[in-house]
A and B are shown apart, each in its own frame.
Chain A
Amino acid sequence: MIEDNWQDNAASLFERLLPIGTAVILMLLTYAPIYLGVFNNVRADLGLVAVYFWMLNRSDLFDLKSVVFMGLLDGTLSSSAFGLTLFSYLLMYVLMINLRKFLNGRSFVVVWYGFIALSLVVYLLKWMIATVYYGQFLPMTSLMFSYFQCAAIYPLISMLLAWIQNIFLQDDEL
């Protein structure tokens, strides 16, 4: 009986930590020193993709605390302004809170377009804040390259996360 309880608790904890765990892993992957050819110079913000995906599909397991944790962890690793990523993830959180109902249950293409539109808003606002922080305009080409990478990689990452969700989180989906 105790053993069953322990197993249930462990399984429940695993399920609760799975979204934030996968999101953190994706975020850390952007820091991995792997040679990616032309994509090496500017990389996609995989953490943002994860925030969007989990906020849309399992907002019960991926809440504000998860977003803040991710933002702060990225701040400790990044050499850009501490708090800049937190700001961008919070922005995505706010947008998703308000627009989730329009995107939930829609076809993949609509969800993808939703990400393309929302991430553009997040990227541009982050760019504006960074511009104020550094006191100079950051190059738009790098920003747009990173944004397009992010938009292009969304189907792949969302497929991976959807597969994880279907395998591990299907039973108790709300």
Chain B
Amino acid sequence: MKRRRSLFLHFNQLRVLLRKFALVTLFIISLILMLMSKNQSILLDYASSGGSYVAMPVIQVLIWPAKMVTKGYEYLANLWHIQQDNEALRAENEALHKLQDKYDSLEIENKLLSDLLNYVTLPQAGFISAKMVAEERGAFAHSIVAYVGDKQVNKGDVVLANGSVVGRIDKQLQSYAKVILLTDISSNIPVIIENTRIRGILKGDNSQYPKLVFTPLDAEISVGDRIVTSGVSGVFPAGLPIGYVHSIVKNEIKVRLFASLEKLEYVKIVNYNIGGLLEDVDND
């Protein structure tokens, strides 16, 4: 009886020891996973694909009631302003027609001049529109997940919303694509100030306003200056609108993005056919 009890005690002690050891092992595993994540392990990509495949439909179901309430409220709010909106849209439509005529004539002129100069145009960009299905806004990451279905997107493809850049494709997870937003800490985009042509890097820091860094010390930068992609490094094409200088405090330049990241619903994923460079960089 005594022997059985002592055996039982040993077994219990062993279980406690194993449990403690399991915790230490799990902590070590979590750190190893982080290191693997740093090296962009294929195994973790597969795990992310599987996780997204299961979790994204659940998220869609979870937000359905909240979306219905929001949509209902928006519908009622819109009804209230429908008369004024109608008048404003008519005026805007008229102005757009005038701009369209101007644009058509400029396009013809541009084509004629390009032919005269024998100018080699950039390859035609292809794009798909995708619905945002999940977003991550925390102190540790800023990203979204967009549903792309059976369409193929590539790492580094530009993601636009309302005509301005919001991020780039990080990876495709089966029918979904993970987009790293410009505000994410891992985002670094070569940019240029449109009017002064001063170059810099737009660096996310997980805050609402990314920072403009690596600008010349004597650069004259003012609040309100427009920031566009510079095209340096070939990852993004030049001239895509990003945002404007929001504040300059103690040499820290904060940029406000044109696109409202809080209200993203649909994004445009554009492939400018200048990819391949990212793969080269990754391989290096």
Contacts and interface: CB of A to CB of B under 8 A. Distances in A.
Interface string B55-77: 10011001100110010000000
B70 to A, nearest CB: 7
A73 B66 contact: no
Nearest to A89: B30
Interface in A21-80: 25, 28-35, 37, 40-43, 45, 64, 68, 71-73, 75-80
Contacts of A136: 185
7 contacts: A64-B26, A71-B30, A76-B48, A76-B50, A82-B48, A86-B30, A138-B206
A90 B137 contact: no
Interface stretch (B33-41, B107-115, B153-161, B238-246): B33-41
Given A76-B51, A84-B30, 19 more contacts: A25-B62, A32-B63, A32-B135, A33-B144, A34-B67, A34-B70, A41-B208, A43-B138, A64-B19, A78-B140, A78-B143, A79-B186, A80-B138, A83-B36, A90-B23, A90-B30, A134-B186, A138-B140, A139-B206
A34 B68 CA distance: 11
A32 B66 contact: yes
Contacts of B186: 79, 134
A134 B137 CA distance: 17
Interface of B: 19, 22-23, 26-27, 29-34, 36-38, 44, 47-48, 50-52, 55, 58-59, 62-63, 66-67, 70, 132-145, 170, 178, 180, 184-186, 205-208, 261-265
A123 B114 CA distance: 57
Contacts of A84: 30, 34, 140
A64 B145 CA distance: 29
A133 interface: yes
A146 interface: yes
Given A31-B134, A83-B29, A138 B44 contact: no
Contacts of A87: 27, 30-31, 34
Nearest to B51: A76
A142 B207 contact: yes
B88 to A, nearest CB: 23
A81 interface: yes
Q: Which of B30, B144, B178 neighbours the largest number of chain A CB atoms within 10 Å of its CB? A: B30
A121 interface: no
A41 to B, nearest CB: 5
A129 B34 contact: yes
Contacts of A80: 136, 138, 140-141
Contacts of B47: 72, 75-76, 82
Q: Which of B50, B52, B142 neighbours the largest number of chain A CB atoms within 10 Å of its CB? A: B142
Contacts of B30: 71, 83-84, 86-87, 90
B34 A77 contact: no
Given A31-B135, A33-B63, A75-B33, A41 B262 contact: yes
B32 to A, nearest CB: 7
Contacts of B184: 79
Given A33-B135, A146-B139, A81 B34 contact: yes
A42 B138 contact: yes
Nearest to B183: A41
Contacts of B22: 64
B139 A33 contact: no
A29 B134 CA distance: 9
A112 interface: no
A129 B63 CA distance: 32
Contacts of A143: 139
Contacts of A138: 139-140, 185, 205-206
Interface string A79-118: 1111110110010011000000000000000000000000
